[in-house]
Chain A
Amino acid sequence: EVQLVESGGGLVQPGGSLRLSCAASGFTFSDYAMTWVRQAPGKGLEWVSAISHSGDNTYYADSVKGRFTVSRDNSKNTLYLQMNSLRAEDTAVYYCANLYSSSCHHWGQGTLVTVSS
């Protein structure tokens, strides 16, 4: 069974940093591109970032470019999102998902990030 488990969310002050993790199991992690998607309270889904299966290529939404960094450790079956210079508008539940044939396929349960003073 595919499982994606996010962790690392919490309350952080504006300008602060957080690192999210997504632990994967039940599939060959190194074969799949991965992505982060967020959902602000009461809002729709917003794509944040993606990374190729090898980690060689990374992609970002304009809203987070230069502040967030996606990475992965295929030896640990784990995806990361380093978030710096956080803003109130980054408050959201952050989901990781694997990309199968281009679309988001399996989703994690999400981790809540709250940016507030």
Chain B
Amino acid sequence: QPVLTQSSSASASLGSSVKLTCTLSSGHSSYIIAWHQQQPGKAPRYLMKLEDSGNYNKGSGVPDRFSGSSSGADRYLTISNLQSEDEADYHCETWDRNTRVFGGGTKLTVL
């Protein structure tokens, strides 16, 4: 089954942009993933589904500042014009047959 690798932490300044990475394990570079945001003390929230082509479908109400892209086995979440409320954990998810897998999550700090 696939493995998803994320950096444990990232930081960026208010108003700037940040690009988070989720890397699929060898042999799984074509897999679709989903990105979820988890603000402190809250439940996860679906952000988008992201294909290997770079096409993505965002959830209802997700701001335009959030976008996705792909390159090989890497899936990216870019957040532009960072706001304080973007400080959160970001999790990637994928699935294979009848199991699903999450990355370890990236804690984003907005400076």
Footprint of B on A, CB under 8 Å?
Answer: 35, 37, 44-47, 50, 57, 59, 61, 95, 97, 101-110
Residue of B nearest to A52 (CB): B98
Q: CB < 8 Å: which of A37, A50, A101, A105 contacts B98? A: A50
Across the interface, B34 reaches (CB within 8 A) one of A35, A95, A103, namely: A103
Which secondary structure dominates where chain A touches chain B?
Answer: strand
- Residue pairs across A and B with CB atoms within 8 Å: the count is 56
Are A103 and B93 CB-contacts (below 8 A) given A45-B105, A61-B99? yes
A-side contacts of B91, CB under 8 Å? 44-45
User: Among residues 70 to 111 in chain B, which have CB atoms less than 8 Å away from a CB atom of chain A?
Assistant: 89, 91, 93, 95, 98-105
Q: Tell me the smallest distance from the CB of B94 to a CB of chain A, in Å.
A: 8
> A47 near B100 (CB under 8 angstroms)?
yes
- In the complex, the answer to whether A35 meets B100 with C-beta atoms within 8 Å is yes
Q: Is the CB of A95 within 8 A of B104?
A: no
From the candidates A59, A104, A109, A110, name the one contacting B36 in the complex (CB within 8 A).
A104
Q: Digit string of B50-79 for contact with A (CB within 8 Å is 1, else 0)?
A: 000000000100000000000000000000
- Docked pose: A45 CA to B6 CA in angstroms: 13
